[in-house]
Chain A
Amino acid sequence: MIKRGWLTLALWATMLLGCQLNPTVDATTAVGCHSKHINCQRFDYRSLTQFNASLMAHMERWNLNVPSRMLEQIHAKELPVRTTKLASLADYIEAINQRPGDIFLLVKQAREKGFNTYETFLMEQAFLRSIVDLSRLNNS
């Protein structure tokens, strides 16, 4: 019982630390990573399999459509050489727009470069925008 309490406290602490607002982004009123309802740790980057699983869980939870061809593009292979030159948040978002399948590696790279949780959250938002299919085309 005590063990479970500590575990819960630790999880909450992780969440709160992870959801700190980036002071350079003006999002004081927008729903985003700062919101109590938004899980900024929604995707699991420990492995591609875990990432895909967390992505699917998110999609299912919110009834979002993703074409299977988009999911098939997500990989853990090498990134193109040009991605080494990515420096700003905008660079990363542009790169994700161009190649959403690179998301797993790009976010990992961005984290390694010191981008904070909110910034990686915005990268994930760009990724979601790129893959979510809102059309009413029935592909089944």
Chain B
Amino acid sequence: MNVHISKAMLTGSLCCLLAACGGSSNTKPSLSPTPSTAFFAETASVVAESKHDQSETSKQSLQKTQFQNVDRSCKNNDDCTNAYELLNIHKAHGYGLSGKGQSIAIMDNDFNVNAATGGVHNEFDSVNKITTFGDLEQANSSNYHGNFVSSIAAGNYNKDHEGETLNMMGVAYNANLYITDYIGPNRSNYHLDHWAAATNAAAKAEAVVQNNSWGYDISIKDAQAKMVKSGYNSYSDWAAHYFTTSGMTNVDANSVNNYITALDNFQQQGVIVWALSNKNDMADADISAGLPVFFPQLEEAWLAVGNIDYLGSQSIADSSVGDGDDYATNFSYDDNTKTYSSSHADNIYHQSAPCGQTAAYCLVADGTKLTGAAYLDNEEDYYRLHGTGTSFAAPQISASIALLAEAFPNHTPEQLVDRLLASANNTFFSTKDIDGEYGITNFGNGITHKYSYKFGHGIPDLAMALKPIGTAVVRFGSSLDNSQAYALHKTFLTPSTAMGDALQLGLQGEKISIYDGLDGEFAYALEQQIKPQSKAPQLPSLQQQLQHLDGFAQAHTGLSLSQQYMVQPTYGAALPLQRLFEGYSNIDAPSISYLNPAATGAGINGAVNIADGHLLYGFTRPLNNASSQTGQDTSLSLAYATNPNKQTRSAIVAGLSMEQGSLLNSIGQGAWGLKQKAAKTSYLAFTGEHKLSANMSLKMMAAMGKTHMDKSSQSLLAGAEGIVTNYVDLRLNKRQAFNKDDLLSINLTRPFRAQAGQMTVRIPQPADAAGNLNYKNKTINLEPSGQQLNLGVDYRTEINQQLTLGLSGLYSRQPNHIKDNPDHYSMTMAIAWDKFKLGLRGDKFEASDTIKKSALLSYGGQL
């Protein structure tokens, strides 16, 4: 009877083995609509890049003639840095950013942007590029400031014109321009009311930035002194007076306040960028770029911009700030080549008023000797060479804001400003004597940035602004403000070997939205946070191999009950599981989570003699206290084991296991965290051994389980269900194969593997404009691409009482169930002599000449 049962069990287990051989992985994505396009940056590939170590796409941007034409002094000049390159704008272009879909408001004077202004300059001649408000003054051969500024911000990149001598391109070359004129024909727009109306209109047109390359050249300090001297109590009153001195009529404090309100309202969806005065002998910022000093409500999304000339090709960190007097004397201009040459001792020369009281929201850029659009004459597009001024530094910053707005559609104007300031390059700061007083801005989340009186926060760095600033996190919750954050660098999933490469395949190309310390949203390749399986199969360690030398010849007898029944508390493995592994020829317990005897804690176990065997039952659960935890899983198991002294002995176990904090031994950390979750498995396992002759036996072990994990909204692992796993091991043992004290085993094993089942991954998607977080669930088939088969030979012999020798060889096909993993071979030798033990191993992959060698020596159990 027992023999029949055991044979049936063997047959059933073989069926398991055969069933496990079919199928391949297949993903079933379950997609929900994506609310917006996030900035896709491969943050894992972020490395410290040297100035001349750009990605291929950014190199291509750098080499565009129209890019180089902007700063023609640098063309074919190795000792020079292009003004755009200085800001790493080519790297932003390399990310695919161009300002597309963004609108830049330009308030300036003298344009060729439509029929009313004499036609459209080539730099603005593209579909829907230009929108205008109010009357514009037409540019001519002497006056074309508005064209120049606009072309730096968003001049077209036209492939057809690539290679032309002067054709240039803007920083945000695909952005649209919302053009307004602060003077207008016959000075008709020269009034605060018009400026307010133009600003309101730009806001209505959803411009993300307003560029102001104009203003009054009186410093804040002077204005404050004049205001006190003339007895004005409010700045609005004094400003009305000041505007009158410049020719404005019918202006009063209300006009001033209305304009300030318009600027403030604009900041709800856009940034105000204002060029500082070009007067580098001024002791403070001017009153135009410094309006927030008088009207603090404007501080939130305001950038003042100074001008520098950056000389040389060294990195910014290696640059030194020079004296203005040297600057003037060290330049010569070659009219033939239209280039400047310099014999500069230093590299950064300040060219404008200092950031002064605007330093906390001020930047500098190289707006010196640039090329830009000039005017139209008889449909001929003219350009101007060597234009200099904060006028041309400011639109670089405005367009940078447009690029950032394209990259971070959920950023508020204030956040865009913070991003540019916090990532600016200030590594050239030297001493207080040169840079002026220093200050530090605290952007929150531990992000601080130093600024100086003269240079503000320094030179913008688009490459850094487009990378995560501070700690990147994965968020789970309803909104950015109401969510739990998990640090990305602590987020990992180490999948069970049973799953092989299923997760990598299922999540290939899948991006999650992560957030940096400034709430900047980035897309991140999720598979990078899944630790890949090794190519080599899991082998018993050399230490285990040495332990096998001890008492290999004695077969365990297993449980022997002298009474009809027993009940006992246990501390460790449940009795039914013990019976699964003991009482047979020596065998390692396979790594199967729900059969892991070491994972159980304390419990109650019992046994009853039935027929010629035992019915065993057990319940265990982990023991937790403040300092330690014993066991990991809660298990309930029932086993029937036949008489171990019979020719055929076997045990079958059915059970339920609740694996706490992991899934089939998969370990999750951070956003992959499984701490609060449990994997529930119902399983059936069998071990049987049949004596074929006095010294030969056939042993088999098989296990099959079905696992599910409850749903969770606070982890990337949203849930798992129907995970069918199995394991099969067949072993032929021959004692006295070559001498009286040896054991030869040949085994065929299909290691623990997921045959079916699905995992649901909760993938964070781009947040919507209101900051609400969105997710999609993706269901992944957990069956790996391959299935590992091991063929092993194991020989152990006791040469004499002191000397024992073990030899084993193992061939593994598709290690770790990954189809593309090369076959693997290993050979191990273990020797025990008295208390000395020595293990030697060599292993290699198929088609590889490299043999990995390892050795272990121990004495009395000590390594």
Asked if A8 is at the interface (CB within 8 A of a chain B CB), the reply is no
Chain A residues within an 8 Å CB radius of B222: 63
Chain A: interface residue count, which band?
20 to 34
Q: How many residues of B contact A (CB 8 A)?
A: 46
Q: Is there contact, CB below 8 Å, between B391 and A30?
A: no
Residues of A93-140 at the interface with B, using a CB-CB cut-off of 8 Å, are: 94, 97, 122, 124-130, 132, 134-138, 140
Q: Is there contact, CB below 8 Å, between B186 and A136?
A: no
Q: Is there contact, CB below 8 Å, between A37 and B216?
A: no
Asked if A1 is at the interface (CB within 8 A of a chain B CB), the reply is no
Q: Is there contact, CB below 8 Å, between A30 and B252?
A: yes
Asked if A7 is at the interface (CB within 8 A of a chain B CB), the reply is no
Which of B214, B250, B254, B389 is the one whose CB lies under 8 Å from A138?
A: B389
Asked if B22 is at the interface (CB within 8 A of a chain A CB), the reply is no
Asked if A27 is at the interface (CB within 8 A of a chain B CB), the reply is yes
Given A125-B247, A126-B187, CB of A31 within 8 Å of CB of B240: yes
Asked if A6 is at the interface (CB within 8 A of a chain B CB), the reply is no
With A and B bound together, what is the CA distance between A27 and B251 in angstroms?
A: 9
With A and B bound together, what is the CA distance between A31 and B387 in angstroms?
A: 37
B289 to A, closest residue via Cβ:
A136
With A and B bound together, what is the CA distance between A1 and B109 in angstroms?
A: 53
| Nearest CB of chain A from residue B606's CB, rounded to whole Å | 90
Which of A32, A97, A134 is the one whose CB lies under 8 Å from B250?
A: A32
Given A37-B230, A65-B217, A130-B187, CB of A137 within 8 Å of CB of B246: no
B-contact 0/1 string along A63-104, CB 8 Å cutoff: 111000000000000000000000000000010010000000
Chain B residues within an 8 Å CB radius of A94: 186
With A and B bound together, what is the CA distance between A38 and B245 in angstroms?
A: 8
Q: Is there contact, CB below 8 Å, between B390 and A136?
A: yes
Chain B residues within an 8 Å CB radius of A58: 245
Chain A residues within an 8 Å CB radius of B643: none
With A and B bound together, what is the CA distance between A97 and B183 in angstroms?
A: 12
Given A31-B241, A94-B186, A136-B214, CB of A128 within 8 Å of CB of B246: yes
Chain B residues within an 8 Å CB radius of A125: 244, 247-249
Given A31-B241, A31-B251, CB of A63 within 8 Å of CB of B218: yes
Q: Is there contact, CB below 8 Å, between B388 and A122?
A: no
Given A94-B186, A138-B278, A138-B389, CB of A32 within 8 Å of CB of B217: no
A-contact 0/1 string along B186-223, CB 8 Å cutoff: 11001000000000000000000000011111110010
Residues of A21-57 at the interface with B, using a CB-CB cut-off of 8 Å, are: 27, 29-32, 35, 37-38
Q: Is there contact, CB below 8 Å, between B278 and A136?
A: yes
Given A136-B277, A136-B391, A138-B278, CB of A64 within 8 Å of CB of B248: no
A-contact 0/1 string along B277-299, CB 8 Å cutoff: 11000000000000000000000
Chain A residues within an 8 Å CB radius of B219: 63
| Nearest CB of chain A from residue B9's CB, rounded to whole Å | 89
Q: Is there contact, CB below 8 Å, between A135 and B109?
A: yes
Chain B residues within an 8 Å CB radius of A130: 187, 247
Asked if B145 is at the interface (CB within 8 A of a chain A CB), the reply is yes
Asked if B166 is at the interface (CB within 8 A of a chain A CB), the reply is no
With A and B bound together, what is the CA distance between A65 and B246 in angstroms?
A: 10
B213 to A, closest residue via Cβ:
A136
A131 to B, closest residue via Cβ:
B247
Q: Is there contact, CB below 8 Å, between B307 and A138?
A: yes
Q: Is there contact, CB below 8 Å, between A132 and B215?
A: no
| Nearest CB of chain B from residue A36's CB, rounded to whole Å | 9
16 contacts between A and B (CB under 8 A): A31-B241, A37-B232, A62-B218, A63-B219, A64-B246, A125-B248, A125-B249, A127-B247, A129-B183, A130-B247, A132-B247, A134-B109, A134-B183, A135-B391, A136-B275, A137-B148
